[in-house]
Amino acid sequence: MTDVAQRKQDKIARRQVDKFDARRTELAVATLHTLAELGYARTSLREIAQNSEFSHGVLHYYFADKRDLIVEAVRQYERVCVTKYDEVVAHATSADQLREEFVAMFFDTLEKDATLHRLWYDLRNQSLYEEYFRADVLEIDAHREAMVWRVISRYAELREGAPTASSGTAYVTLDGIFQRALLHHLSGNAETVASLRAELPGVIDLLVA
């Protein structure tokens, strides 16, 4: 085979891989809400197909099983979440503005996308039992930690201060508040959610000297 023919064959192969990956992404995004509603334990590719416009055969062609689909779906959602918070960081011109807009988005996405966040925590909990998920969960968790750190670092810069904790500590602090608020939101405890929202600005201040 000539070099030209080989390059052409490689190009076609890459294009096929790109199309396959793009279709996986499309299917993961399209079935995300169904996954979020059903949760891990009650989900199978067949059940997802029954609750979406896609056939079981199509889903099975692009995903090995429900675990493969759930991980890809959560990855896609996390990319959108990170982008939203990065926009807040990029547009903030004062520490107060950044803190206020971060808190607003923090609780806005908690309320609007509660079932999607629930899916993430479901996946993270499953990783404690199933090794299959652990590498992906750790990678997604690292992206979330980095996103929080960009917020805290920029807040410290605007306050002309410095973070008082590591990126890991800052992340688990805010993630703990988010998970607690999510649980109470899903339970209809609006008063507890409001209390956590009122306390969050002070917690952010504690993370920056």
Distance CA 190, CA 169 (A): 27
Helix (H) or strand (E) holding 163: none
- How does pLDDT run across 153-182, given as a tens digit for each residue? 999 999 999 999 999 999 999 999 999 999
DSSP string, 97-135: HHHHHHHHHHHHHHHHTHHHHHHHHHHHHHTTT-HHHHH
> How many domains are there within the chain?
1
pTM summary value: 0.84
H-type helices in the chain, by residue range? 3-30, 32-38, 45-50, 56-62, 66-91, 95-112, 114-126, 131-158, 167-186, 190-206
The CATH number given to whatever domain includes residue 48 is 1.10.357.10
> Could you list the pLDDT tens digit for every one of the 209 residues in the chain?
565 444 444 444 456 557 888 888 888 888 888 888 888 877 788 888 887 788 889 998 999 888 898 888 888 888 888 888 999 999 999 999 999 999 999 999 999 999 989 989 998 999 999 998 999 999 999 999 999 999 999 999 999 999 999 999 999 999 999 999 999 999 999 999 999 999 999 999 999 99
Domain hosting residue 144, numbered range: 1-207
